[in-house]
Amino acid sequence: MALSILILAAGQHEADNASPIYLAEHGDMTILERILKKCVAINPAELAICFLKSDIQRFNVDRVAKLLSPDIKIIEIESYTGGSGCTALFGACQAPPQNELMIVSANELVNIELEPALEVFRERQLDGATLIFHSMNPRYSFVKMDKGGRVVEATQQDPISTNATVGLFWYARAEYFVRAVKQMIIKNATINDRFFIAPAFNEMILEDKYVGVIQINKFDYLPLKNAAQRKLFEEGQI
């Protein structure tokens, strides 16, 4: 099955004059470069990235992405959307509906090889999947599972379990995600007036889709959500 990868790099900045966190650099690579290298390594049929129009204009991030991956599709987001779910929907609608879809956040790093994870998702014949780690910090999204490991509920910033998710989501068909987010929007299923990606699993579950997970070590997940985390990353302390 052909795989489409969508990288989300159109989130809000810590401050109006700050550069995007994904341009933070440690050693000889930015976060964006690390993410793109990992995505290119699994040879997707299609690779796309969502950038804010203002970031393209101020920081030439489209050129940066093209240097790293000449065939990458640049999706320009005019301004802040109604949340990551809306941004991802805009990008996912441009992917072939029958393709697998993997959505990746550009402000966090996952230090595992992605191809083996994708193979597990396929072998288990999942319709949707994510990676989880142990946490009860309400800043994350969470999934609750039954005894067989099947996801039965997903939330954002609401620890319904100790299974926090990373910002990587996979769908057996892009159309599953598109349909799920559209249903969330119809229902106005927002969290703090914003639409997020993880809760879209709930719409898939209502359609009896099989959503699963892979557990990773918490130390293989590095969120970079604020200026303090960015500083620690640039100094090599995390």
Model pTM score = 0.96
Q: What domains sit in the chain, N to C, each tagged with a CATH number?
A: 3-234 (3.90.550.10)
Contacts of 164 (CB under 8 A, 6+ apart): 132, 133, 134, 135, 136, 137, 140, 141, 142
Say if CB 176 and CB 209 are below 8 A apart.
yes
Say if CB 22 and CB 31 are below 8 A apart.
yes
Provide the 10 A C-beta neighbour count for residue 19. Answer: 15
Residue pLDDT tens, the chain, 238 long: 799 999 999 987 766 668 899 999 988 899 999 999 999 999 999 999 999 999 999 999 999 999 999 999 999 999 999 999 999 999 999 999 999 999 999 999 999 999 999 999 999 999 999 999 999 999 999 999 999 999 999 999 999 999 999 999 999 999 999 999 999 999 999 999 999 999 999 999 999 999 999 999 999 999 988 888 888 888 877 7
Provide the 10 A C-beta neighbour count for residue 137. Answer: 10
